[in-house]
Amino acid sequence: MTRYLISFGTHAMDHIPDEEMPDVAKASYAVVQEAVSAGVWVFGAGRESQRASVVAIDGMVTDGPYPETKEVIGGFCVVDVSSREEALEWAAKTAVACRCAQEVRELLPDPPEITAMLRRADGRRPTVTS
């Protein structure tokens, strides 16, 4: 299985009127439930619209990009699926529910050292749900 990041930009949902947001939320929760039931859901969240803090290697903290920056992710989920085609199918379901286009990126697998750490920690590869 391979993990994929499915995401949309910070302003991707700006076209949706406030009164329709409860319907969008309901539709997106239905996709999450479907992914959970299918055993492919790893994690997902929306991102708070705020400036990022950037921590340098020397520990110095500076303000990052402002929320208006187009490259910032507005929301995302991670699915663990058998193929890119399956990830694209979940992205399509998410796009319909959220009423905005979704980007799909393959995530690198954990190196064996991290997999071993996780197994030692609790005997299984953990999954996080929101």
- Asked, for residue 60, whether it belongs to a domain, the answer is yes
- Asked, for residue 64, whether it belongs to a domain, the answer is yes
- Asked, for residue 127, whether it belongs to a domain, the answer is no
Domain count, the chain: 1
- Asked, for residue 128, whether it belongs to a domain, the answer is no
C-alpha–C-alpha distance, residues 77 and 6, integer Å: 5
pLDDT at 130: 45
pLDDT per residue, tens digit, the chain (130 aa), is: 999 999 999 889 999 999 999 999 999 999 999 999 999 999 999 988 777 888 999 999 998 766 555 567 899 999 999 999 999 999 999 999 999 999 999 999 989 999 889 888 875 555 554 4
- Asked, for residue 129, whether it belongs to a domain, the answer is no
pLDDT at 118: 84
C-alpha–C-alpha distance, residues 21 and 106, integer Å: 29
Q: Comparing C-alpha atoms, which of 57, 88, 55, 76 is closest to residue 128?
A: 76
- 78: domain CATH number? 3.30.70.1060
- Asked, for residue 130, whether it belongs to a domain, the answer is no
pTM of the complete model beyond 0.85: no
Range of the domain at 49: 2-122
